[in-house]
Amino acid sequence: MAVKVNIQPDLAARGDIELFLDMLSAERGAAPNTLAAYSRDLSEFAAFFSKRGAVLRDAGTGEIREFLHDVAARGLTASSQARKLSAVRQFFKFLHAEGLRRDNPAAAIDSPKRQRPLPKIMSVEDVDGLLEATRAWVGIAKGAEVLRALRAHALLEVLYATGLRVSELVALPSDVVQTGQRVLLVTGKGGRERMVPLTSAACEALAAYREALERASAAPSPWLFPTRSKQGHLTRQRFAQELKGLALRAGLDPKRLSPHVLRHAFASHLLERGADLRAVQQLLGHADISTTQIYTHVLEERLRSLVQEHHPLAGAKLDPPQPG
């Protein structure tokens, strides 16, 4: 549990901090919340040195490390520690630029490593259940609800078949796939194009949806999933909401399901079955393979759990070897 700090910087330190905040406001147009955050972090930093009778402007690299150790000892997360270090860095960079210091003592200090959280994923069984629930909805839907059900089914099949980003999925153009075509040409981040294959199930779901859409629409749309939204197509937010409803139909926890979770499922299920990491990177549209490698960590965690749960010696305390 974090301990509250009595923030009482000395007068000289307060003056330097105010000069720095004035610069952020006037030259960089920093928002009030940003200024408040910098003020809190730097005031805490100044108070730390004030207790030791030290002058903030004269702080060295070792003393800054002491402050960071103190912050860590109070139980603050790595992200909070990194934020405080960033404020200190910017502060001393300002003092150096103004000629008030000859160096930036915080420049050589590395930020605390923040462990990247593993992505939430779904089991193959959960995905199958979600798709089956959507197919069942298509079977019982009546009237105007039929098109919504068919659209939901098409969206899910395409998402799980391709691993598209939700922004890419909802904004697919109407001519992205032609009759009999089994590949999508997708424009992703940075205008980079990539080709992603479609499964038979995705092709069939798309064909059924497009047929119903043509019957229901008075005029053609440039979008594959048109709506009356400002963008002209289904929004990411609306699709996420609909996905929560589909989760309830499938008996899944809506809080654990999102379009991004299905993208994760696509990648992790491919890797589980031996897909090449580079191929998955290309399908996902990742510019850097290190982004894709997060899924290998998911598999490592699963394998570790599998061994811990099922290996006969897992967790067993072995007797030490006896001499001679």
Catalytic residues: 165, 189, 260, 263, 286, 295
CA–CA distance, 243 with 152 (Å, rounded to integer): 8
Query: How far from 188 is each of 58, 224, 295, CA to CA, in Å?
Result: 49, 16, 20
Distance of CA 301 to the CA centre of its chain: 19
Cβ-based neighbour number of residue 174 at 10 Å:
15
Confirm if 232 and 163 have CB atoms less than 8 A apart: no
